[in-house]
Amino acid sequence: MVFFSQQLQLLYSAPSHHEHFQPFLERLIDDFSLSDAILHIQSHQVDFVELETVWIAGPTTAAIIEGIEQNLLDFNYFGQFMAQQPTEKVYGFMLDHGRLPDDYQNYRFAPIHKWFDQHEFIDIAGCIIQLEQCTVYFHAHRQTKNGVFSRADIAALNQLVPHLKQAFKLYFQLKSAVYSEYDYSILDLIHHPSILFHQHGEVLYANESAKQLLSIYQNITLSSSRLQLSSTEATNQLKTAIMKASLAQPGTSERSIIHLDSEQYPLTLLVMPVQHHRGARLSGAIVYFYDKESSPAANCESIALIFGLTSVEVNICELLLLGIHRNQIALELERSPHTIKDYIKSIYLKTGVNSQSELVSLLLSFPY
């Protein structure tokens, strides 16, 4: 194939490229008429699928993130089939397995079939690569308009597999030095505990406030390149929020709020996109952490003066920061849920926000 040498060039430049395997996947989309292409790294765990580092490209990226959010990996019987086959070989869904019938005996696969059809997918190809550090998964979808994968397509993708394995070996060798040219210490000027993430889920920089706060949580682990939350589900939820923020179009605001229960104190995470310094493309996310016992309090008094909030509205803002549901707020303040709903509408109107995530963003990022 004419493009094969260009694919290899992108593949072997990936370990030192600031976007790693993203340009390779984007080229793959064009050359193989794919609707999306996904590379993700999973640690060697038996019971859970954890998204450690993820690269996604293609026009149906939003559909893939939706599938991750719906935990459809649990119903991915093609993935289960691949896991039982020899590794380092690309398999085609329709060529090597085929779709299970939509009958009663296979009712448990209804969610993934519905998702598959909703986005006009017709086929998927994939392979598994085992490395010393982890397992690498490659998947690519095709939509109905481009037809199923042919044997020639699968054969061509198989030619790339050994090179993909070698590129990942180089990636792990160079990983510690990839971001050394950047200086992210400006996060130390932010009074809130904050961590900057690359769009693929790697920790780029954690300020001292974040390190101190997270050190008190026994079930949360922060290393130089990775944040492990209290459960695999929570970690995947954070990775998905980072991907959504990173892939948001310039000028849009993709924010997510994650609430974590904890034996120490409840923890609220606010995920917001950041703009890459070399252009308009959003390629990362900053996560603010809020904990009522250890984090600096939001400057609600100043916000109240500027936006004209009442004392009750200030109390509601503080409770919303902690991730407390409006029904619980009603019990706390001895008011009806309907009244609390009206208060929240008033807060939105006065502060000019449209959602709880925007309100939390305003409260946490307001100058202290």
pLDDT per position as a tens digit, 303-335: 787 788 898 998 888 788 766 788 888 988 889
255 vs 114, higher pLDDT: 114
Phi, psi of 236 (to 5 degrees): -65, -35
Q: What is the mean pLDDT of the chain?
A: 82
Q: Which CATH code is given to the segment(s) 186-290? A: 3.30.450.20
Query: How do the domains of the chain map onto residue ranges?
Result: 4-176, 186-290, 300-365
Using CA of residue 48, residue 274, residue 194, residue 207, what is the dihedral sign? positive
pLDDT digits (tens, 9 = 90+) for 158-167: 999 999 999 9
pTM for the structure as a whole: 0.66
Assign 3-class secondary structure to 120-141. Answer: CEEEEEEEEEECCCCEEEEEEE
State residue 97's pLDDT score. Answer: 92
Rounded CA-CA distance 236/45 in Å is 14
Distant-in-sequence contacts of 304-308, Cβ < 8 A, 24+ apart: 307/350, 307/351, 308/350
Q: Tell me the CATH architecture of domain 4-176.
A: 2-Layer Sandwich (3.30)
Residue 180: which pLDDT band, with cuts at 50, 70 and 90? Answer: very low
Give me the helix-helix angle, 300-307 and 311-321, nearest 10°: 130
Residue 344: which pLDDT band, with cuts at 50, 70 and 90? Answer: very high
Rounded CA-CA distance 274/280 in Å is 10
352 vs 191, higher pLDDT: 352
State residue 60's pLDDT score. Answer: 94
Assign 3-class secondary structure to 31-48. Answer: HCCCCEEEEEEECCCCCC
DSSP assignment string, 295-361: SPPP-HHHHHHHHT--HHHHHHHHHHHTT--HHHHHHHHT--HHHHHHHHHHHHHHHT-SSHHHHHH
Say if residue 261's pLDDT is above 80. Answer: no
176 vs 30, higher pLDDT: 30
Rounded CA-CA distance 96/44 in Å is 26
- Nearest Cα residue to 285 out of 229, 241, 316: 241
Position 188, amino acid? D
Phi, psi of 89 (to 5 degrees): -140, 135
pLDDT digits (tens, 9 = 90+) for 47-64: 455 677 889 999 999 899
The reply to whether domains 186-290 and 300-365 share a CATH topology is no
Residue 1: which pLDDT band, with cuts at 50, 70 and 90? Answer: very low
Say if residue 339's pLDDT is above 90. Answer: yes
What is the helix (H) or strand (E) element at residue 64, kind and residue range? Answer: helix 61-69
DSSP 3-state of 266: coil
Q: Which CATH code is given to the segment(s) 300-365? A: 1.10.10.10
